[in-house]
Structure 1
Amino acid sequence: MGHFRSFVDGAGFFFQGLRWVARNPRWWLFGLIPALIVFILYAAGLYWLGTHATDIAEWATPFASGWAHAAQTALRTLVGLAIFGAGLVLFVVTFTAVTLIVGEPFYEKLSERVELSYGDLPAGPDLPLWKTIPRSIRDSLITLWYVLLFTVPLFFLGFVPVVGQTVVPVLGALVSGFFLTVELTALAMERRGMARKERFAVLRRNKMRALGFGVLIFLIFLIPLASVVAMPAAVAGAAVMVRSRLGVSGPATGAPEIHERA
């Protein structure tokens, strides 16, 4: 039950972020700008993938050319759906990272404002934008690499009968949710002087809370346009979670632990 409570507690931080932006609509609109820009670009990419999924499936299955028409159509339809599904998951997983990079100045200000509403900002390192953006890009690429290490095998497992339609979607949501939390908490943790390895260590030790927060956001981001509307709330919720569970007021000398409930 302790793990379940931690999972639910993690999900609750998104609703805390949602309440914050609902009370501060100006900051919600401020956070919509980069999310909307990235969404339009991603939507165009998904539209192209959806209209060309059959052609890609045909290219990927040349061995089926000599099959009976019904079997060939069934296989390529299944492969086309799997390709589009993989593209949709990739959309959800990378949307946050790309939006945070594009909207670094926006979300940094939003995250700071959330923390200021709870008290003073932590006395962490004050780095210029020209240093933080390249670091954010590098960290996001490393995170994406980890995501692919999990999602590529899951993609192929998706073709396994029964398992591919039951176990794989759940595992995919858990993996995607955890890494969404990694991306969203990066702003508040970096403000405390925490490097990427330290941030990963904190979230790994508190994976149920990280999963509760990230899985809920992953599911919301699957809804068309919800990723745009919910992005400011997700950033705000991540700031609240880091602040209320870490309580670090300055540069970190080690990775503070978010204590799980027993």
Structure 2
Amino acid sequence: MNATKYAPADLLRSALAADPARPLVTFYDDATGERVELSVATFANWVAKTANYLQGDLAAGPGDRLALLLPAHWQTAVWLLACSSVGVVAEVGGDPAAADLVVSGPDSLEAARACPGERVALALRPMGGRFPQPPAGFADYAVEVPGQGDRFAPFVPVDPGAVALAVGGEELTGTAIGERALADAAAAGMPEAPRVLSGLPYDTWQGLSYGLYAPLATGGSVVLCPRPELMDADGAAAREAAEKITFRAPLPLS
């Protein structure tokens, strides 16, 4: 890939220009049997809608801090790129009480209530389904986002040198995310345009790099299997073959 800018939103634009139809994020939930595959174009559309919601309805802007209380999931990947598009700092596993707004999964709603700002909840149900009953005090992402615009333009230009991500006690700028992801891919020996299988959680830089940023930066794709304990060795091998995996993140899937 010949992208000269390394901030995640720029990497996504480059991927969209290069080949919008290729897969980018594939997600498995072996507890429910769910499999979701998003092409670059579909993923970018979700990012645009989420960024419009973040910037418009939630009134978030550059420098605001968003506590992201979500597991490794395709919708989490969408939120990470949406934050980058708007200039909001995504604090993975951040303290809701100290954040400007919070995005929570169904298992962290009580902790998320400590946020004094806007609160958004994701049911993380198959096909991006909504909550049967919206949790009190939260907007339901699945209700609010589908009607948002399919194109996004920030009200304020995003500085790629500003902090964009906080994870594991470390803060990275937008540019540093892409540069470090490329370095990780090279150090790990990822092939060109890799098809990466990752069972790593999203609560560390390594998990985010293998599970999103490195595949994005190298023109590849990722298959997220965030519950590796549910798969035996034969199942893992079958999935690798079916998904045409060319690189496996360093975590046993059995």
TM-score scaled to structure 2, two decimals? 0.27
TM-score by length of structure 1 reads: 0.27
- Say which structure is richer in helix: 1
Q: Flag the structure with higher strand content.
A: 2
Higher relative contact order (CA 8 A, sep 6+): 1
